[in-house]
């Protein structure tokens, strides 16, 4: 009567891996990545818009002139010149940053992991938005926090709800927010809410982790000040070049007060010693001069047109009782469907009809979100977006008919 | 050295599982000295690439639609290429749970009482009220599954009648019909059958959180397996006989896996039939084979040899 041991490590895994399991949704994405499927699932930057010639010139010059550095280990904090350029990117959004307060990370995703490592003990409460960026939930989740979810609306996190949670006794280690062009909700935190949040957190002595990957992808309107600029002592700021240049170079950063920074750098060194010198040099050169700015303007134009195509198509093809956000920048539209829709279950049928999205459940640690879906408009062309939304709309209308017949 | 193709991938929701099966099978067959080419039929142009590969036989490691429903088998028949497993017509019947259930009922093979809900009936005949009748007839609790899907995708357990519509919609996301089945409570076992070999020992499945769903199947450690199953010898024998009867009644060939549940009175019920069983590192057929002393490499080779025998015959 031998027990068959599939995985001899089964009784060795750390508790923090408990949530790391296979899933149907993940399996369906394997089919959704095929070229005939219009995928609104992944938030992939449209890197085809980069000029190959320009990139070749940048990479070539790094290899030709700096190969002895490029192929070597670097410092854990990242090269000083690159940090200056990243501080410059922050200045574009009106946030003053001292390059000395900044650590370069392997994408902002590593910064999320390092923040978790440095700040979260098992059982600690941390505040995230509802919905929240799925990558932050998985990065923080590994440190076994208890997530306190605070709803958001068109103006971003509803700070009154956070206040109410604090009154009820929540004692979060920090508040995590994506204030600009939220992932997945597409909304931007209003000036009023920013002021409320910064004031509340300062008074309650709760640090804010401000994650701002999309801030420079603004389609219209005036930028809101970064939370960091409103209260430098109390805000840890995370940035990335993934959206303004390339996610392939994996260059992100965290900006924090010296005590936090020191621990982030030590944690970074423990994780991977240093970021890739080659990629840091490429990024530094790409961001030198003015050409990156022209490229970014071009990209913003492309994304704006795609947003317009998606929003227009949603109005045409989606059920009358569905609602969605109108992002003024970034990558995502967030759709709220009538309650009887289950976007997680529907994904298989969507993939069968050659269109894909991310079910809302991915963005809530507590299993909510079945009636929601995230649509990324950043990657498919406008025609493909219109076609994909049409396919999805048709599916939803068939599903609605099915629901009506089943509910009598 | 025989040149053979392992077919894996496809575009069914089980694509990922199939790729895992295919890689393992390919590497096993290479270890056994075959010249193996791994092909994904969903990569165009398949007909050209399989013809150009000039292989003696195909090992089908595809799961789900197109791989298990007779589609790929018909194509290979046209190309006059021998392949592992069941003929197209029988594949079609075994893969479609409505047809498989009807065939098993006709052959007197015990399978839980069931009803089918077709999407066309709901849409065009406004057959929604039928759900209440189904509950009256079958009672509760129920299991709802898509008629044509695998890996427990789209499967739900229903305790209350009010949850049935949602479960049916869930299943219909994967298929154009749903099977509603009386839930049997008891040990779950898998019976592997390989042509020309004694029935394999049963594998008993104990999902740690009680439900052998997709996550429990493909996350190593999420399910405990016992091979042979911890059943009384006569109960295990009854399971193996039912599985063998189902294999014959459904006219299956070379290889199959039957999933059974054993109720409180020790009666076995066939709940699922797979003509292209999973061959991943957490799959049941390889475990059953191993319990019989047949290693994975040998298992793959034996299945392949059944197809190769047809090639030379």
- Per the CB < 8 Å rule, is B218 touching A399? no
Q: Is the pLDDT of residue A2 over 70?
A: no
- In angstroms, the separation between the Cα of residue A214 and the nearest Cα of chain B is 32
- Per the CB < 8 Å rule, is A348 touching B168? no
Q: In which band, very low, low, confident or very high, does the pLDDT at A29 lie, cut at 50, 70 and 90?
A: confident
Query: Closest to B169 (Cβ–Cβ): which among A30, A345, A347?
Result: A345
Beta strands in B135-262 (DSSP E): 142-146, 156-158, 177-182, 188-194, 203-207, 223-226, 255-262
Can you state the angle between helices B88-95 and B97-106, rounded to 10 degrees?
100
Helices (H), A241-290: 258-272, 277-286
Q: Per-residue pLDDT tens for A369-397?
A: 999 999 999 999 999 999 999 999 999 99
> Which DSSP helix (H) or strand (E) runs through A161?
helix A159-167
- Per the CB < 8 Å rule, is A406 touching B12? no
In eight-state DSSP terms, residue A84 is H
Q: With pLDDT > 90 as the criterion, what percentage of chain A qualifies?
A: 87
- Per the CB < 8 Å rule, is B169 touching A27? no
> Chain A contacts of B153, Cβ < 8 Å?
24, 27, 348
Q: Per-residue pLDDT tens for A351-362?
A: 999 999 999 999
The sign one gets for the Cα dihedral A128, A134, A136, A142 is positive
| Cα distance between residue B138 and residue B152, in whole Å | 21
- In angstroms, the separation between the Cα of residue A6 and the nearest Cα of chain B is 6
Predicted pLDDT at A408: 64
Picking from A19, A31, A39, A404 by the largest number of B CB atoms within 10 A of its own CB, the best residue to mutate is A31
Predicted pLDDT at A1: 45
Predicted pLDDT at A26: 80
Q: Per-residue pLDDT tens for A165-194?
A: 999 999 999 999 999 999 999 999 999 999
Lowest mean pLDDT among A134-143, A158-167, B72-81, B218-227: B218-227
ipTM of the complex: 0.87
Predicted pLDDT at B102: 97
Q: Is the pLDDT of residue B190 over 70?
A: yes
Q: Per-residue pLDDT tens for B146-161?
A: 999 888 889 999 999 9
Name which of B159, B192, B216, B167 is nearest B272 in CA terms.
B192
Q: Residue with structure tokens 């990065």? A: A139
Q: Per-residue pLDDT tens for B278-297?
A: 999 889 999 999 999 999 99
Give me chain B's average pLDDT, please. 93
A397 to chain B: closest CA residue: B123
Q: Is the pLDDT of residue A221 over 50?
A: yes
Q: Is the pLDDT of residue B313 over 60?
A: no
Q: What is the pLDDT averaged over residues B92-114?
A: 97
Tokens of A408: 């009598």
Tokens of B301: 């080779």
Collapsed DSSP state (helix, strand, coil) of residue B175: coil
Tokens of B248: 């014959």
Predicted TM-score (pTM) of this structure: 0.92
Q: Is the pLDDT of residue B253 over 80?
A: yes
| Cα distance between residue B139 and residue B118, in whole Å | 20
> Chain B contacts of A6, Cβ < 8 Å?
220-221, 223, 225, 281-282, 287
Q: 291-320 in A: which are within 8 Å (CB) of B?
A: none
**A30 in reach of chain B (CB within 8 A):** yes
Predicted pLDDT at B20: 94
């Amino acid at each position: 009567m031998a027990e068959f041991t599939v995985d001899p490590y089964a009784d060795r895994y750390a508790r923090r891996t408990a949530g790391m399991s296979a899933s149907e949704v993940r399996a369906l994405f394997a089919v959704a990545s095929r070229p005939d499927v219009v995928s609104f699932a992944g938030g992939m930057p449209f890197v085809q818009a980069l000029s190959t010639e320009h990139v070749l010139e940048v990479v070539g010059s790094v290899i030709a002139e700096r190969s002895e550095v490029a192929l070597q280990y670097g410092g854990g904090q990242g090269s000083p010149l690159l940090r200056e350029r990243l501080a410059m990117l922050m200045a574009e959004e009106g946030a003053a940053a001292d390059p000395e307060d900044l650590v370069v990370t392997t994408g902002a995703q590593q910064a999320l992991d390092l923040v978790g490592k440095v700040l979260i003990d098992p059982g600690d409460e941390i505040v995230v938005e509802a919905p929240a960026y799925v990558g932050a939930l998985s990065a923080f989740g590994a440190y076994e926090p208890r997530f306190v979810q605070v709803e958001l609306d068109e103006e971003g996190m509803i700070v009154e709800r956070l206040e109410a949670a604090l009154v009820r006794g929540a004692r979060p280690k920090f508040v995590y927010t994506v204030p600009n062009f939220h992932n997945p909700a597409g909304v931007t935190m209003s000036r009023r809410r920013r002021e409320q949040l910064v004031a509340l957190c300062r008074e309650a002595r709760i640090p804010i982790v401000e994650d701002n990957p999309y801030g420079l992808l603004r389609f219209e309107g005036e930028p809101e000040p970064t939370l960091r600029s409103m209260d430098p002592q109390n805000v840890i700021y995370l940035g990335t070049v993934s959206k303004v240049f390339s996610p392939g170079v994996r260059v992100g950063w965290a900006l924090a007060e010296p005590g936090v920074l020191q621990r982030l750098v030590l944690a970074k060194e423990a994780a991977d010693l240093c970021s890739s010198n080659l990629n840091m040099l490429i990024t530094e050169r790409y961001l030198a001069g003015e050409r990156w700015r022209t490229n970014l303007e071009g990209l913003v134009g492309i994304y704006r047109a795609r947003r317009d195509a998606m929003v227009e198509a949603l109005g045409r093809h989606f059920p009358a009782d569905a609602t969605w956000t109108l992002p003024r920048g970034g990558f995502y539209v967030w759709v709220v469907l009538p309650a009887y829709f289950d976007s997680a279950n529907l994904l298989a049928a969507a993939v069968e009809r050659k269109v894909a999205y991310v079910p809302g459940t991915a963005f809530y640690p507590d299993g909510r979100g079945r009636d929601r879906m995230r649509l990324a408009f950043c990657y498919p062309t406008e025609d493909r977006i219109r076609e994909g939304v049409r396919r999805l709309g048709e599916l939803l209308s068939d599903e609605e008919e099915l629901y009506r017949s089943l509910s009598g | 050295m025989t040149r053979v193709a392992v077919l894996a991938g496809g575009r069914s929701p089980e694509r990922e599982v199939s790729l895992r099966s295919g890689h393992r099978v390919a590497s096993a067959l290479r270890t056994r000295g075959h010249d193996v080419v791994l092909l994904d039929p969903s990569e165009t142009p398949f007909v050209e690439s399989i013809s150009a590969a000039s292989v003696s036989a195909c090992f089908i490691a595809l799961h789900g639609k197109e791989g298990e429903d007779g589609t790929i088998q018909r194509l290979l028949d046209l190309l006059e290429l021998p392949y592992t497993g069941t003929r197209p017509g029988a594949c079609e019947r075994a893969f479609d749970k409505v047809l498989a259930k009807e065939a098993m009922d006709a052959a007197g093979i015990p399978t839980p009482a069931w009803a089918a809900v077709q999407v066309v009936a709901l849409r065009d005949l406004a057959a929604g009220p039928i759900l209440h009748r189904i509950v009256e007839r079958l009672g509760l609790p129920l299991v709802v599954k898509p008629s044509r899907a695998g890996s427990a995708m789209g499967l739900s357990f229903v305790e209350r009648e009010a949850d049935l519509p949602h479960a049916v919609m869930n299943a219909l996301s994967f298929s154009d019909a749903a099977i509603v089945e009386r839930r049997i409570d008891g040990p779950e076992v898998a019976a592997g059958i390989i042509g020309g070999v004694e029935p394999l020992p049963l594998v008993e499945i104990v999902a740690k959180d009680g439900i052998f769903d997709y996550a429990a199947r493909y996350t190593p450690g999420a399910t405990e397996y016992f091979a042979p199953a911890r059943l009384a010898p006569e109960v295990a024998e009854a399971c193996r006989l039912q599985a063998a009867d189902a294999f014959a009644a459904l006219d299956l060939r070379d290889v199959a896996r039957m999933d059974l549940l054993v109720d409180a009175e020790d009666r076995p019920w066939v709940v699922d039939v797979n003509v292209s069983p999973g061959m991943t590192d957490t799959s049941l057929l390889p475990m059953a084979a191993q319990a019989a002393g047949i290693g994975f490499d040998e298992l793959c080779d034996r299945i392949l040899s059944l197809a190769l025998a047809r090639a030379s015959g």
